[in-house]
Amino acid sequence: MPTIEEKPGTVSWILGNMPFVAIIEGGFLVLFGIVAYIYSGQASITALIPSIFGLGILVPGYVAYNSPDLAKHAMHVTAVFALLGVLGSLDSILGFLDGEYSLANISKGVLLIICGEYLYFCILSFRAARIKREQEALQQ
């Protein structure tokens, strides 16, 4: 099992521990979706949509955390779910601009923010890994 590196609170710590970050952020989305569903009076199953994206980030993040040999593929899966979450919730911006603060729009806004920042860190992490591979190749 990989260890969590030191220096918490820095971008380098986040980039070095992306599977752990995936577990935390995926877990947050799962819990948020469940709370939104309960708050809606269980009237709409669509309130669980953040939970679906959360599971799409949480499960591969857990696989990457426990299986370093599968980490690269699993982390790419989390990035795909984050990208889909961002694309699927972009219309929440228009809703907020129109003054719509319904539970559905707030849920999409939270999904947009969490998936957007996670996707940003995925891109930085993938870029750092590529640079590291290129530097190692030049040293050989």
Where do the domains of the chain lie?
11-139
Residue from 131, 93, 111 nearest 26 by CA: 111
pLDDT at 31: 97
pLDDT tens string, the chain, 140 residues long: the values are: 444 444 555 688 888 899 999 999 999 999 999 999 999 888 788 889 999 999 999 999 999 999 999 999 999 999 999 999 999 999 999 999 999 898 889 999 999 999 999 999 999 999 988 888 888 888 87
Q: Distance from first CA to last CA of the chain, Å, rounded? A: 28
Q: What is the pTM (predicted TM-score) of this model?
A: 0.86
Residue from 112, 102, 117, 93 nearest 36 by CA: 102
